[in-house]
Amino acid sequence: MKTHPLESLNSASPADFTAALGDIYEHSPWVAEAVSAERPFATLAGLHEAMVRAVRAAPGDAQLVLIKAHPDLAGKAARAGALTPDSISEQASAGLDRLNAAEFARFHELNDAYKAKFGFPFIVAVRRHTKDSVLRQFERRLGHSAADERETALAEIVRIAALRLDQRVEAPDKLKLAGRLSTHVLDVHAGKPAEGVGIALYEVSDAGDAHLLARAITNKDGRTDAPLIADRPVPIGTYELRFSVADYYAARAVALSDPPFLTVVPIRFSVSEPEGHTHVPLVVSPWSYSTYRGS
Amino acid sequence: MKTHPLESLNSASPADFTAALGDIYEHSPWVAEAVSAERPFATLAGLHEAMVRAVRAAPGDAQLVLIKAHPDLAGKAARAGALTPDSISEQASAGLDRLNAAEFARFHELNDAYKAKFGFPFIVAVRRHTKDSVLRQFERRLGHSAADERETALAEIVRIAALRLDQRVEAPDKLKLAGRLSTHVLDVHAGKPAEGVGIALYEVSDAGDAHLLARAITNKDGRTDAPLIADRPVPIGTYELRFSVADYYAARAVALSDPPFLTVVPIRFSVSEPEGHTHVPLVVSPWSYSTYRGS
Amino acid sequence: MKTHPLESLNSASPADFTAALGDIYEHSPWVAEAVSAERPFATLAGLHEAMVRAVRAAPGDAQLVLIKAHPDLAGKAARAGALTPDSISEQASAGLDRLNAAEFARFHELNDAYKAKFGFPFIVAVRRHTKDSVLRQFERRLGHSAADERETALAEIVRIAALRLDQRVEAPDKLKLAGRLSTHVLDVHAGKPAEGVGIALYEVSDAGDAHLLARAITNKDGRTDAPLIADRPVPIGTYELRFSVADYYAARAVALSDPPFLTVVPIRFSVSEPEGHTHVPLVVSPWSYSTYRGS
Amino acid sequence: MKTHPLESLNSASPADFTAALGDIYEHSPWVAEAVSAERPFATLAGLHEAMVRAVRAAPGDAQLVLIKAHPDLAGKAARAGALTPDSISEQASAGLDRLNAAEFARFHELNDAYKAKFGFPFIVAVRRHTKDSVLRQFERRLGHSAADERETALAEIVRIAALRLDQRVEAPDKLKLAGRLSTHVLDVHAGKPAEGVGIALYEVSDAGDAHLLARAITNKDGRTDAPLIADRPVPIGTYELRFSVADYYAARAVALSDPPFLTVVPIRFSVSEPEGHTHVPLVVSPWSYSTYRGS
């Protein structure tokens, strides 16, 4: 996706500015148009806030049109290839492009129920969610009042716009939408950070399926060279870290039982704050381990 | 399977005695016959040791016939329904009766290689093993010398006989072949044993498949009313205990994140001593846990 | 102190019965007298309950006389050697016989304030308390109403009587006044119970003084052969267990830093339920440890 | 103590240079003199290495004079006030200025034995040690050979000089002599860093005396605003961190027993690498805690 330096956007013609940012709000270039005259923006945050003010200042009808401009999640438009490029990659981020038949039917059913009740599509910033988490949101929000849902839809639209801006514009600042997921392995048999431990990170669905997200090896500080997830929201959902503990100790010639008491240690945990830092350490010996929500 | 009180066996006619215990050693009633005159036996251990002495005292040829009397593991006899009742239930205990095609082929291949090298079938006391553990034994033992394997085969035959005796004879003593697998949940948020935690025990294969073995709920001592496995060897292999931690804390109205940081806590560990006691406790709060090889 | 089998008490003359149990309630043989005719008692609990009923049924004046029959804690009678033998050993159990001058003055001051407010001496079952705990009770109860304190005094007198009966009478049952303090050392470096760990148990005062209560060595189960405290209430107060971890690992030839990271591990904890079981385990490696209120 | 910018030392007259650094090596201005002509030094490390080369290049006799120029530890010169200012503050750092009579006698005895055996005083960089650690060094080194001790003495003199240079000269670089001692409190009852926990750090002697070194309160990250010890070697020895856990939980209105199971949690540990980073975290609930040598 093409990115734009903030200074270029500041000096572009109004038409070019609107063309560049016309799809930050789904099918709604009028939002970019409305803030063009406020340029220059010193920061991305300033640009974002201006666009939010434009949306909030628009008449209720225009807001409703904006809401209705969004596609169904995992809906027919997606199957027909009729989504905007942003929507395509957003829905894919939560795995909504690879639903099985039953899941597709469930989304279809929820979409219909939601639209029947509220008259507009269900909107959620899917980059902040896993599939299970989207479904839980869907089910809960179906029980809300129309006024609450309209407000929630606008709030989610603002989140979506912020995430799109962060990806589209090169600026000195970021919109603080990025979370972090990290780990750390402490070897209490040797009394030092565990270097060379193989780690795999999986997303785990409620149904028990595990989807590999990342692999890493701990460095001499017992950490991974980079966080397992960074520079983006950590989707709300359940994860499993798997630590290859027996391989690590075998490589250090530590005496183990046969088979080793601990081979691969799985730590399953959930992320509830996608913009927060979730740190999940492993304090381990060949015969014990502990973990906790770290910081 | 019909069981016999030790005192009845002591007072039975030699023919009845041999009939009752003729299949303790596979297709080899001569072992029972050989010890009939040593009756009465005060203990099951005494009977077992007498039979072992008879096997050890037999000529090498007779021992080889005994070895060869055993069926292949997961072999054609099993598929054709031509096993002794003991062998059927023993092979089933390690899941050898539900191999997929690839696994069946692997066993077939190993059986052929083993018999080609040693001239007799591979024998292992499968009640002490899981499928993966049987395969590891198979692969290792293929590399041994013929003399070592003949000795190992006899030792495994003795183990099989002891397990059969323990099942078949009612006696005041047991042959100490039983291991134990237990757990214990300590709630360090409340400072007491965790009552009402749902636990599931799975056998986990090297390929990652999980096979449910048992379910339990912790009692007011944070323990299960009975050990998860008892009164039999705990098969060498890998297990996973899954503790329903979020349900437990939700039922106690403890504030949790949404979703809870810990929902189901999996603890994966291996058993290396089937006749030993493996105790795997969980010390848990909504935000942390630890485990260790307990006692 | 002379003990009496329950059956002897049951068959004794009324005078002998009263003589034997006349001091269960301080200076108040009328309580024993009152229940003499209810004999025989099948259990110690039955005898105790009968005596409690007699006290409860007595007129308020008689109850007040009973309350006033008790000596001051750490008072002048103690200094003058004018206590009953029971009171002497009870006050010694909480260390009230070895107060320094400041502590003696504090007790004196509290005794005076208490008697000035309520008209009777402060009564507490000191075998259930440490010195600090007695002082905390004293300070709290000074703030109570007269009616509450009179009720509390009677309840404490009943506790004192029960503890005296448990010591004085040999019966098939006990009055469930005994608590227990135990520990357990798990070595997660070796993956088994730690055998041969030296343990010292101290009572720790609020002022930081440590008073040695017991020493023990862990056995092959990582436990002490007997609980550190048993068969009596564990006094409410603060304790410190000190585990000689470096000596243990040095004896096993485990490589340690110089000096070892952990030499003696102190675990400081308080007991709040003197009749309960307080279990304080140590899960340890040369570089880490954990503890928790166990069960 | 007066400090000098490195650039001033570089541009000073040879006499001023020697005057400024004449006491870096005890009573031996010839070392500074010897490197004066090598100026300018770009870094403190360069200056230090030049001085070390000068010492190493000196004739054996001169080295011995340098060694003998050092005072006894806790010796008569100290009592008589005849030490150099550097030696005074160095000996005080390890508490050698406040020995009791028995300790003074022990040092005296060791000094005499050492000088009788080796012909020169015992030298150790005391800023890297506690009193107990100095004594252990003393006792061990008495058993060494003369050649080894002469080499060890020179090595310690170099360490002393480096520590003096780091204090005396303002330079862009440091000599990497600084260690660090830090902690971190994680509250697993609340699932976040523990803010507001009172911490006291004590040095603990082998005899059990505790000497308060520092107090701190944890910040919102569960850490102290500054390391407990930093910018200097952490003396080899035993320490105790005491965490006021009950006060912390009481302030958060967490239900506790009476008295609380954990009031003050002591963690006792030893430092063996004075230039390293010793991190000792506390992972705590009202009913449990764990610690480990962190990183």
Give chain D positions within 8 Å (CB) of A294: 186
Region B150-174: mean pLDDT is 95
Terminal CA-CA length for chain D = 34
Local structure of D289: helix, strand or coil? strand
ipTM of the prediction:
0.93
Question: What is the C-alpha to C-alpha distance for residues A208 and A268, in angstroms, rounded to an integer?
Answer: 11
pLDDT in the model for residue B145: 96
Q: Could you tell me which residues come within 8 angstroms of residue A20 by beta carbon, excluding any fewer than 6 positions away?
A: A4, A9, A12, A32, A168
Across the interface, of B261, B266, B270, the residue whose CB is closest to A270 is B261
Q: How far apart are the first and last CA of chain B?
A: 34
Question: Looking at the partner chain, which of B258, B266, B270 has a beta carbon nearest the beta carbon of A272?
Answer: B258
Contact flag B290-D290 (C-beta cutoff 8 Å)? yes
Q: Which residue has the higher pLDDT, A212 or D86?
A: A212
Nearest residue on chain A to B136, judged by CA atoms?
A259
Q: Where are the alpha helices (DSSP H) in chain A?
A: 6-11, 14-21, 30-35, 44-57, 60-68, 76-79, 85-93, 101-118, 131-141, 146-168, 245-251
pLDDT at C207: 87
Name the pTM for this structure: 0.94
pLDDT in tens, B180-212: 999 999 999 999 999 999 999 999 998 889 999
More confident: B9 or D92: B9
How many A×C Cβ pairs under 8 Å? Answer: 34
Query: Which residues of chain C are within 8 Å of residue D239 when distances are taken between CB atoms?
Result: none
Of A70-84, C31-45, D186-200, D219-233, minimum mean pLDDT range: A70-84
Residues of chain C with pLDDT under 70: 1
Q: What's the gap in Å between the CA of D204 and the closest CA on chain A?
A: 22
Contacts of D284 (CB under 8 A, 6+ apart): D185, D186, D187, D188, D189, D194, D243, D245, D262, D265
Looking at per-residue confidence, does B160 or C88 come out higher? B160
Q: Please report how many Cα atoms fall inside a 13 Å half-sphere around the Cα of residue A245, on the Cβ side.
A: 31
Pick the catalytic residue: C4, C48, C70, C279?
C70
- Thinking of the domain D4-170, which architecture would CATH place it in? Orthogonal Bundle (1.10)
Is B129:B235 a contact under the CB 8 Å cutoff? yes
**Strand C229-232 relative to strand C277-285, pairing:** unpaired
Using a CB-CB cut-off of 8 Å, the residues of chain C touching D283 are 290
Please indicate whether, in this complex, the C-beta atoms of C268 and D273 are within 8 angstroms of each other: no
Taking alpha carbons only, the member of D236, D67, D80, D213 closest to residue D153 is: D67
Q: Hey, are the CB atoms on C258 and D273 less than 8 Å from each other?
A: no
Residue B135 has pLDDT above 80, yes or no: yes
Which is higher by pLDDT, C221 or D80? C221
Contact between D259 and C270 using a beta-carbon 8 Å cutoff: yes
Q: Does residue C288 contact residue D267 with C-beta atoms inside 8 Å? A: no
Q: Any chain A CB within 8 A of the CB of C291? A: no
Interchain pair A265, B262: CB under 8 A: no
Q: State how far the Cα of D138 lies from the Cα of D144, in Å rounded to an integer.
A: 10
- Shortest distance, CA A56 to any CA of chain D (angstroms): 35
* pLDDT tens digit sequence for D1-59: 689 999 999 999 999 999 999 999 999 999 999 999 999 999 999 999 999 999 999 99
Residues of chain B with Cβ-Cβ distance to A269 below 8 Å are 261-262
Residues 222-251 of A with CB under 8 A from B: 236-238, 240
Instruction: Give the largest Cα separation in chain D, rounded.
Output: 72
Structure-token match 């007790």, residue found = C107
Residues in contact with A27: Cβ distance below 8 Å, sequence separation at least 6, in sequence order: A69, A84
Asked if A222 and D295 come within 8 Å (Cβ–Cβ), the reply is yes
Write the residue in C191, C286, C288 that is nearest to A283 by C-beta. C288
Question: What contacts A239, CB < 8 A, 6 or more positions away?
Answer: A181, A201, A202, A203, A204, A213, A268, A269, A270, A271
Residue ranges covered by each domain of chain B: 4-170, 179-290
CATH (residue range D179-290)? 2.60.40.180
Q: What is the pLDDT of residue B1?
A: 65
Distances (CA, A) of D267 to A283, C291, D160, D190, D200: 18, 12, 31, 21, 11
Work out the pLDDT band at D77, boundaries 50, 70, 90.
Answer: confident
CB pairs under 8 A between A and B: 78
pLDDT exceeds cutoff 90 at B177: no
Reported confidence tier of residue B285, pLDDT bands at 50, 70, 90: very high
Give the pLDDT confidence score for residue C70 in this predicted structure.
95
Instruction: Read off the tokens for C251.
Output: 């004896």
Are the beta carbons of B283 and C290 separated by less than 8 Å?
Answer: yes
Q: Does B263 touch chain D (CB under 8 A)?
A: no
**In chain B, what's the furthest Cα-to-Cα distance?**
72
Binary contact (A293, D191; C-beta < 8 A): yes
Residue C294's DSSP bridge partners are C279
In tens digits, chain A (295 residues) has pLDDT values of: 689 999 999 999 999 999 999 999 999 999 999 999 999 999 999 999 999 999 999 999 999 999 999 999 887 777 777 888 888 888 888 888 888 889 899 999 999 999 999 999 999 999 999 999 999 999 999 999 999 999 999 999 999 999 999 999 999 998 888 899 999 999 999 999 999 999 999 999 988 899 999 999 999 999 999 999 999 999 999 999 999 999 999 999 999 999 999 999 999 999 999 999 999 999 999 999 999 999 8
- pLDDT given for residue D224 in this prediction: 98
Whether residue C208 lies within 8 A of chain A, CB to CB, comes out as no
D48 tagged catalytic: no
Nearest by CB: B285 against D188, D257, D261: D188
The pLDDT of residue C1 is 65
pLDDT for res A1? 65
Catalytic residue set of A: 70
Instruction: Say if the Cβ atoms of C292 and D287 lie within 8 Å.
Output: yes
pLDDT in tens, C93-115: 888 888 888 999 999 999 999 99
Percent of chain C with pLDDT over 70: 100
Q: Which pLDDT belongs to residue D1? A: 65
